[in-house]
A and B are shown apart, each in its own frame.
Chain A
Amino acid sequence: MGCIEELTHEILAKGLTFKECREFITKTCPTIYHIQPGTKLFGEGIIGNPPIVVGTDGNTVVFPYVKPCHGTFILKIEDPKEATRLSIIGVKPNKR
């Protein structure tokens, strides 16, 4: 089990393609950022087709989490520090 799974999290969606995850996060999060594959969130390198869309809603972070045998989950984790860090390391897309 990875360290992200040990954190208190909510699964917002599962069974989506990575492309569908991008669209889901873009539509549902007030603020979105682009990060590149391997960028660490909660101590783990995030997996996916670049650019990886992640979002924040206040103190919560919403992001895709890929498991080889189970597909991609969209996880939501409340963490003010990581939400703030994401606003620094993430790139805001030009258009939504």
Chain B
Amino acid sequence: MTDTDTNKALIVLGCPEVPVQNAIAIYTAYQLKNHGYSFLIAGNPAVMKLLMTSDPEKHYIGKMTTLEKAVEEITSGDATYDLCIAFAHSDAGISYAATMKYLLPSARFITIVFGREAENISKLIEYEGEQIVEVAVHNPMQLRKKMNEVLGWDASKN
């Protein structure tokens, strides 16, 4: 996949109770923007409030919507994506990721499984696609490193 202005990405965020998610979400937005993607962030209202508080002038984050509206836009044919990065640290997070995977069969699909139970949660994945699994709770550095490797983001520029 080449980085062009036409590339569209969807970032799917789970419950924000694990601290690294907010930081990694903003980092993901930063990298996608640097690589020429337009992107939408989908999450629950608490996720959106955290992101808006962290980046009030939207230097990194962009358009945001609820998970329900993101699903609705895809099923109605109003939205499609080349890349989907889904964050999950719980069974519910995997359910949302599985839904997006089903709805976006031709997108490059990467599931980021994190949190204390990352290894066990990753076993709940029943669909194909790339996975990054890291027991990250407070420290995002190892997860960030793995994302840099899988997504081809140049770590030296970070």
**A: which residues have CB within 8 A of B?**
2, 17-19, 36-38, 40, 44-45, 47-50, 66-72
Contacts and interface: CB of A to CB of B under 8 A. Distances in A.
B99 A48 contact: yes
A18 B94 contact: yes
A1 B127 CA distance: 29
Contact of B75 (A17, A18, A45, A67): A45
Contacts of B127: 49
A45 B100 CA distance: 11
A18 B72 CA distance: 21
A44 B126 CA distance: 23
A72 B46 CA distance: 18
B46 A69 contact: yes
A44 B103 contact: no
Given A19-B124, A38-B74, A38-B75, A47 B91 contact: no
Given A19-B124, A68-B92, A72-B95, 10 more contacts: A18-B94, A36-B102, A37-B98, A38-B75, A47-B71, A47-B96, A49-B127, A50-B102, A68-B67, A68-B93
Given A2-B68, A38-B74, A68 B15 contact: yes
Contacts of A44: 68
Nearest to B13: A68
B17 interface: yes
Contacts of B16: 69
B91 A50 contact: no
B98 A49 contact: yes
A72 B102 contact: no
